[in-house]
Amino acid sequence: MSFSSIDFPVKVDLNACIADKGCTVCIDACPLDVLVIDPATGKASMKYDECWYCLPCEKDCPTQAIRVDIPYLLR
Amino acid sequence: MELDLILRSRLADPDPVVRRIALIDLVDETDPDIAEPLLIAALQDSNKEVRIEAALALEAQDSPEAISALLKALEDSERSVREMAAQSLSANKNPELGALLIAWTEHVDADVRVAIFRALRELRLAAATVPALNALADQDARVRREAVAVLGWLKDGTTLSQLVNLAKNDPDTEVRRAAVGALGFAADDTVRVAVDLALFDIDWQVREEAATVAGKLGLDSLVASLIRALEDTYWQVRLKAARSLGRLKNKLAVASLCEVLVHPISNLRKEAALALGEIADTAALSALAVAAKDPDPDVRKAANLAVSRISLVHNKE
Amino acid sequence: MQTINNEERALTTAEIETDILVIGGGTAGPMAAIKAKQQDPSLRVLLLEKANVKRSGAISMGMDGLNNAVIPGYATPEQYVKEITVANDGIVNQKTLFAYAENSYAMIEELDSWGVKFEKDENGDYAVKKVHHMGTYVLPMPEGHDIKKVLYRKLKQTRVKITNRLVATRVLIAEDGRVAGALAFDCRSGVFTVIRAKAVILCTGAAGRLGLPASGYLFGTYENPTNAGDGYSMAYHAGAELSGIECFQINPLIKDYNGPACAYVTGPLGGYTANAQGERFIESDYWSGQMMQEFHQELAGGKGPVFLKVDHLAEETIANIETILHSNERPSRGRFHEGRGTNYRTDMIEMHISEIGLCSGHSASGVWVNEHAETTVQGLYAAGDLACVPHNYMLGAFVYGRLAGESAASYCANTELAKVDTTQVETERQRIFAPLNRKHGLSPAQVEYKLRRLVNDYLQPPKVARRMEIGLVRFEEIRNDIQQMLATNPHELMRAAEVGFILDCAEMAAKASLFRTESRWGLYHARQDYTERNDAEWSVHVQVQKDQAGTMSVFKRALEPYIVEPDDVEKAVYQQIRIQPKGTVVLSGGSHEL
């Protein structure tokens, strides 16, 4: 249940992500509200391991910066 | 409602990425009437990503201004912008704006013609008939295919002869298939002949469509051809033939369908059993009794249902 | 984001006043809001959503087809009502089914006019597929991925006010027993919100986080895991009756991935559910408890496990299936198969059964509503997966969304806002924010994991009294654990609130299941201690309600007289189809299909 490091399913390409310019599309789309802007990078990142692998974040991303993997436990 | 000042300045930001994000927020946060002129203006942006975003967002607008702007975007220098504009145009459901589209049906670019006819299809405008008929001779098969759809949705009997001609003679498989499908609103003699021929087309997709149309139109005179189609090399065609024989309820098909009940393909056995139930001839009962012991549960279910339906029909008589 | 501390959050209160509050912006909710506004544009309609309306709910990525479309020429409302009456083993209020069936076609046409794409033939006529045996109800939506976009567009055009990321936790009830509004908090800012409303429409979807998926991943559920049973719990605490809670939802799914295998997408194209030998085995003809019983048996039996079989189909057909399945509803399905090297062309796809849930869209468990979508509480309406209208699926959510929106709009025309009881507001503020104010405690995820593991251990069918009684004792212990939960931010506070919803649902599920001392609905309510169906005693609804003393009461509600009775021949057809003696089956080698 509790793990020291987690393989987060949502991977963000930091070069492509434009969250630092005000984009919040993926963060808005997530039904579980697990994505946030990482204060260190200004880019989108997954904060909570609560993913339904439903893909709106990936599909709606205006720069195709997101790739959602199937969570490890299900893979 | 006033437009937020910060949003307004973001829309004019020198950085195209910021302008693009601002457009997304504009659609989300602002009244559609206020957003529309700004979206139309953004179709002239120097950055193609911004133009794509604007074309996408205009999908929601059905004013003449929005449609005209999207039409102009069909001539954008960037293919991706043109494609997005075409997609947004096809979302328009307002027939009153159809006249704007019709003016573009003879555009020099085939992609534009495809987009225009695609957008016209659901509007079902009588005024689109002549342009669509003209487009049946288009060089580009994709344009002919969309024009067939426009005519098929219009269901205008005066266009039948041209559709029949295409169903028989077009070199493109998909155009012939669509044309056969488009005949599915009138059961006249020319249609009957064309559908019959299509049941023997060289491409299975056309034969499958013809089998479906024969059932939809209740073309009883095609029973013999449909029975032959029960032995088509493609199971898709055989399945649709069985389905249509059920809809036609013609007792001539009973013997052939009974033979299909022992076919090695279970989906076909199932469809044949269901069709025999619809035809409801007691002559099928003994074959159905055997099928009721089929190894496949779906076939057994279909056979049981058919037996019950036959007894239901005969009890009522 | 850390500009205010936790104590300040609990004290910050926003107030909103509206005429109609719709809670849940997935499927039924947007429709309810649009229809209320269309009926009376002068009304203030607020659509409240826990996530974001653009991509929320069960159909966030679209839907690949309707499987209960009642379209003239293919099926009649009478026929549909008869089929669902039989499919739900007689426990239905036929008036509610008729209300669905009679409005279903108009809803399809309206959705079509808004831009939702249904499969049509070359004349623009709906391409209805024959799948079920009496009527024909399947209407594919190969391009159904845009459905949320279409709804969102319509919401904007209708000028419905939307608020996202608000977690509703309780319905406010006035002194005279009618609805006064609802309480909610923002899962990002943590701001507590009091919403005054004349009418509240609950559209919060299924209780999808009840059982724990076999994968052990809390959010790897069949239903959208945002749907934690919020509305079931809110309706219960508002004093509304809930019904059929013992009729669980269990679905046949792709193993581990836990998404639907979509037999009704592949079925019309020739795919089917098969055992390890590649043979069909399902005798019943409907997605029902009987079917799940057979599925369960085959899964565990010598010919198991169970697979979706499409490898016999033509390349064009398989490519078509892939396009539909990998772009709609649960598009990550393709990625899952790819990861395991599963190819539809050469491999059968391993299947399993889902964890239990409550969902009237698929089975029958929900908030009791009549044919106007009214609950038993004045001013409270319900629609969609959480409203008890058996087997009503996505189209039923739209139809009942419409009915709820219109009923609520009519009600508001002659109603004033009720007075808010400040004691209710303060009690809820204390309850909800308590986890933020603790310095030490249990993490909500841990409590949730344990609770849902207990749900699996004690409630998963087949059911037996002693096991469920132990379950209830353990659930009480979780109720104490809830008092120890710690949340460090509003997001975790949302998860903590959800544990409370899940616990209420678990308790209702256990009590309703214990009460119905018979077996019914196949696997959904298979009792090992009462193995037979007992029509003489149990042709009734089982209702759950919070009584005056605040405790959970369970009681019978008589069936309304049927409007249409399936005749003997039809019943016989079903009996023949459903109960096929095992052992008479002649086995043969798998047939080869092109």
**Cα(C141)–Cα(C65) distance, rounded to whole angstroms?**
4
Residue A27 has φ and ψ, to the nearest 5°, of: -65, -35
Which residue's structure tokens are 């903590």?
A: C496
DSSP per position, C38-78: HH-TTS-EEEE-SS-GGG-STTTT--SEESS---TTT--HH
**For the segment C393-446, what is each residue's pLDDT rounded down to a tens digit?**
999 999 999 999 999 999 999 999 999 999 999 999 999 999 999 999 999 999
Backbone angles phi, psi at C182, to 5 degrees: -155, 160
Residues of A in contact with C61 (CB under 8 A): 54-56, 59
Cβ contacts (< 8 Å) between B264 and chain C: which residues? 591-592
pLDDT on residue C133: 54
Q: Domain B1-92 is classified in which CATH homologous superfamily?
A: Leucine-rich Repeat Variant (1.25.10.10)
Mean pLDDT across C194-199: 98
Position C574 scores a pLDDT of 56
- Does residue C281 sit at the B interface (CB-CB below 8 Å)? yes
Q: What is the pLDDT of residue C590?
A: 31
Tens digits of per-residue pLDDT, B32-87? 889 999 999 999 999 999 999 999 999 988 899 999 999 999 999 999 999 999 99
* Closest to C173 (Cα-Cα) out of C240, C241, C242, C243: C240
pLDDT value of residue C244: 98
- Chain C CB contacts of A60 under 8 Å are 55
User: Could you read off the pLDDT of C131-178 as tens digits, one per residue?
Assistant: 545 667 888 888 888 899 999 999 999 999 999 999 999 999 999 999
Q: Residue C113: is its pLDDT beyond 70? A: yes
Token code pair at residue B138: 């288009």
Give contacts of C587 with chain B, Cβ < 8 Å.
295
Say which residue, C150 or C323, is predicted with more confidence.
C150
| Class of residue C525 by CB neighbours under 10 A (exposed 0-12, middle 13-18, buried 19+) | buried
Q: Categorize the per-residue pLDDT at C290 as very low, low, confident or very high, splitting at 50, 70 and 90.
A: confident
Task: Give the pLDDT band (50/70/90) at residue C130.
Answer: low
Confidence of residue B3 (pLDDT cuts 50, 70, 90): confident
Closest Cα to residue C226, out of C51, C443, C365?
A: C51
Model confidence pLDDT, tens digit, residues C514-526: 999 999 999 999 9
Note whether C129 and C268 are within 8 A (CB): yes
Average pLDDT rounded to a whole number, residues C362-380 = 97
pLDDT for the residue numbered B1: 53
Q: Which of B13, B19, B21, B25 to mutate to test the interface with A (most CBs of A within 10 A)?
A: B21
What is the structure's pLDDT at A50? Answer: 96
Spatial distance between the Cα atoms of C386 and C358, rounded to a whole number of angstroms? 8
Q: Are C559 and C539 in contact (CB under 8 A)?
A: yes
CB contact under 8 A, B233 and C122: no
Q: Where are the domains of chain B?
A: 1-92
Give the mean pLDDT of chain A: 92
**According to the model, what pLDDT value does residue C579 have?**
40
Q: Using pLDDT thresholds of 50, 70 and 90, give the confidence band for residue C8.
A: low
Partners of C251 in the β-ladder: none
Average pLDDT on B174-189 reads 96
Locate CATH 3.50.50.60 in chain C. Answer: 12-62+96-111+143-249+357-413
Q: What are the boundaries of each domain within chain A?
A: 10-68
Give CA separation, C217 vs C200, C257, C336, C449, C512, in Å.
Answer: 33, 11, 15, 9, 27
Q: Which two tokens stand for residue B260?
A: 């299909």
**Alpha carbon distance B42, B46 (integer Å):** 9
The model's pLDDT over A7-57, given as tens digits with 9 standing for 90+, comes to 889 999 999 999 999 999 999 999 999 999 999 999 999 999 999 999 999
Q: Which residues in C lie closer than 8 A to residue B184 (C-beta atoms)?
A: 121-123, 125
Give the contacts of C307 (CB within 8 A, at least 6 positions apart): C273, C274, C275, C276, C278, C348, C349, C350, C351
Interface predicted TM-score of the whole assembly (ipTM), two decimals: 0.95
Q: Which amino acid is residue B123, in one-letter code? A: L
Question: Under DSSP, is residue C423 helix (H, G, I), strand (E, B) or coil?
Answer: helix
Q: How much is the pLDDT for B168?
A: 97
Class of the A10-68 domain? alpha beta
pLDDT at C329 (0 to 100): 74
Residues in chain C within 8 Å Cβ distance of A51: 219
What was the pLDDT predicted at C287? 65
The bridge status of strand C45-48 relative to strand C20-23 is parallel
Mean pLDDT for the stretch of residues C311-322:
84
CB pairs under 8 A between A and B: 20
pLDDT on residue C580: 41
C481/C490 Cα distance (integer angstroms): 19
Best CATH choice for the domain C423-558 from the list 3.40.50.300, 1.20.1260.10, 1.20.58.100, 1.20.1250.20: 1.20.58.100
CATH 3.90.700.10 fits C252-353, yes or no: yes
- pLDDT greater than 80 at residue C349: yes
Tell me what pLDDT residue C83 has: 87
Q: How far is A10 from chain C (nearest CA, A)?
A: 12
Asked if B91 lies within 8 A of C115 by C-beta distance, the reply is: yes
Architecture of the domain made up of C12-62+96-111+143-249+357-413: 3-Layer(bba) Sandwich (3.50)
For an interface test with B, give the residue of A15, A18, A21 to mutate (most B CBs within 10 A). A21
- Looking at residue B301, what is its pLDDT? 85
Mean pLDDT of C475-485: 97
What secondary structure letter does DSSP report for C586? P
Interface contact flag, A22 B10, Cβ < 8 Å: yes
Listed range (B92-101, C122-131, C505-514) with the worst mean pLDDT = C122-131
pLDDT one-digit tens code per residue, B231-285: 999 888 999 999 999 999 999 999 999 999 999 888 889 999 999 999 999 999 9
* CB neighbourhood size of C159 (10 A): 12
Task: Kindly indicate the confidence band of residue C577, based on its pLDDT and cuts at 50, 70 and 90.
Answer: very low
Pairing of strands C45-48, C161-163: parallel
> C592 pLDDT exceeds 50?
no
Interface list for chain A against chain C, based on CB atoms closer than 8 Å: 1-2, 28-33, 47-48, 50-56, 59-60, 68-71, 73-75
Q: In what order do the strands lie in the sheet with C192-196?
A: C13-17, C192-196, C179-186, C166-173
